[in-house]
Chain A
């Protein structure tokens, strides 16, 4: 008996335009371009500051040129998207445990000289911090860091 023939649905190269959530996902991933851009931008700025006031002023006039300002406005939009999505996904990606948790004994296998042997260990169970609280504390961190940066630069 020959194997039954099946039909494979092809994946379109523009698959990420087919669904709103896929599109948002690709936009989220493209924020990486602006993370890299702004790292480079800050590096240029640090060099300019290091070279003296004249070079800092010419950096400022370059940074105030329309193209750079537009790029930075777009960058800000993408970086806010990065921050919002990163904070929102954190409680899903990791379990944060609060004071309600406790340690319980657990046997785990470890490799010793290439052989698997059981070893006693302890793991944390319970006390999981609710997702909303994890997200809120990240925003609190964002506010503290932002306030500190503003204070450091503008004091």
Chain B
């Protein structure tokens, strides 16, 4: 194995550059180093001005997502040796505005997420009433969708989100489904009113890439299609039932 590998890293300084450029760095190729270790090496030993987000190094904080050779990845979970002999293309996540170097602005998602009320909607009980009970079987119904770490890889992989920025997007809909399926929740109606609109589930054409890139196996694509069926059923009811009961 060679003892170093080249990383082609996107650099962008909003105060200096009109468009991103590519900088080439040579980093040690160690078997136990992730892409993130390579970036940390650059920042510590070569160029301290390189900007990128990271925190936990163990695939749970969801902050180190970048496009590696064009594919959205958590850089703490993608290893340098898997890309040998290189060079490795390290770019900011696609479909988001680039703030600096490898840092993207996810403000759009942060604005969209609360629209689907990703929490247990319940106004008939207080904390004093005690805990909500749930069987393991009921937990199993939504558990998969609760593993989302908001890493934004699904948004970067979704061509529809890139083309139609109003689309509420994979993770937000998967999280809506997570709470809809929760036996303790009563907010399905409110979420449906958001997701049945044009910007909700209908823009999705089931490309399926969101599910493929998800590091936590959440399956947002499945969640969206299931939501379409649910929304369609409710809509048929709205056509069938008399006005007052809708």
Contacts and interface: CB of A to CB of B under 8 A. Distances in A.
Do A and B touch directly, given a CB cutoff of 8 Å in the complex?
yes
Contacts of A15: 159, 162-163
Interface in A112-135: 112-113, 116, 118, 125-126
25 contacts: A4-B14, A6-B98, A6-B105, A7-B17, A7-B19, A8-B98, A9-B94, A11-B95, A11-B159, A15-B162, A15-B163, A16-B159, A93-B229, A94-B226, A104-B137, A108-B188, A109-B189, A110-B189, A110-B245, A112-B244, A112-B245, A113-B244, A113-B245, A118-B124, A118-B186
Contacts of B17: 7
Lowest 10 CB-CB distances: which A-B pairs, in order? A93-B225, A6-B97, A92-B222, A7-B98, A5-B14, A109-B189, A11-B162, A25-B207, A109-B186, A113-B244
Interface string A9-35: 101000110110110010001000000
Interface residues on A, range: 20 to 34
B245 A111 contact: yes
A94 B12 contact: no
A92 B95 CA distance: 25
Contacts of A22: 159, 207, 209
Nearest to B189: A109
Nearest to B99: A6
A65 to B, nearest CB: 35
Nearest to B91: A9
Interface of A: 4-9, 11, 15-16, 18-19, 21-22, 25, 29, 89, 92-95, 104, 106-113, 116, 118, 125-126
Contacts, number: 93
B194 to A, nearest CB: 14
Given A4-B14, A7-B98, A92-B221, A125 B138 contact: yes
**DSSP class of A's interface residues: helix, strand, loop or mixed?**
mixed
Given A22-B209, A107-B186, A95 B226 contact: yes
A109 B187 CA distance: 7
